[in-house]
Amino acid sequence: MDLSNLTDNPDNVKNVTVKPKDDGCNRADFSPTPQNKNNCLEFDLNSFKFQLFSNTSDDLSLIEKDQGRIFNEIEVSLLEEKNRPKNQKNETPCFIANENPKTKDQTISFRLIDQLPIRKIIHDIPASRKKCNCGEKLKSFGSETIDKIEILPPQINLIRHICLKYVCTKCKDSQIRIASAFPQFLPKELADVSMLAFLFVSKFCKGIPFSKLGTLFSNFGFEFNTTTFCNYAFNSYERLKYLEDDFWKELFASVSIQIIETPIRASKEKNESKTQANLYVLRGLNRGKSILRFHYIHSHNKQFLNEKLKYYKGIIQTKDIVTFKSLTSPDSKISNACCWGNFRRMFSEIIATDEKHEGAIKLLNFITEIYEIEDKIKPLSREERKLYRQTVSRRVIDKIFEFIDKELKVIPTNQLYANAIQSLNSQSNQLLVFMDHPEIPLDTDLAENDIQPFVNPNENWLFSGTSETAEMSTFFYSLLETAKANGYDPFLYLKSLCLKIQSGESPKLFQVD
Do 282 and 133 share a structural domain?
no
The residue out of 240, 267, 298 marking a domain boundary is: 240
For range 399-419, the mean pLDDT: 87
Q: Are 258 and 317 in contact (CB under 8 A)?
A: yes
The residue out of 191, 215, 240 marking a domain boundary is: 240
Instruction: Tell me, yes or no, whether 187 lies in a domain.
Output: yes
Do 302 and 234 share a structural domain?
no
The residue out of 240, 273, 304 marking a domain boundary is: 240
Q: What is the pLDDT of residues 417-448, one digit of tens each?
A: 888 899 899 888 889 999 999 989 999 888 88
Q: What is the pLDDT of residues 478-502, one digit of tens each?
A: 999 999 999 999 999 999 999 999 9
Do 246 and 229 share a structural domain?
no
Do 427 and 328 share a structural domain?
yes
Residues spanned by the domain of 387: 242-500
Instruction: Tell me, yes or no, whether 73 lies in a domain.
Output: no
Which runs of consecutive H residues, i.e. helices, occur in 286-339?
Answer: 303-308
Do 348 and 261 share a structural domain?
yes
Strand partners, 277: 264
Q: What is the pLDDT of residues 199-242, one digit of tens each?
A: 999 988 888 888 888 888 887 778 888 889 989 999 999 999 99
CA distance 157 to 152: 8
Q: Is 375 left (phi over 0), alpha (psi -120 to 50) or beta?
A: alpha
Do 253 and 216 share a structural domain?
no
For position 90, what pLDDT does the model report?
58
pTM: 0.70
Where would I find the beta strands (DSSP E) of 104-185? 109-111, 118-123, 139-152, 155-167, 177-178
Sequence-distant (6+) residues with CB within 8 A of 316 are 256, 257, 258, 259, 309, 324, 327, 328, 334, 335, 336, 337
Do 246 and 236 share a structural domain?
no
Name the more confident of 152 and 279: 279
CA distance 473 to 332: 31
Strand partners, 137: 131
Q: Are 324 and 302 in contact (CB under 8 A)?
A: yes
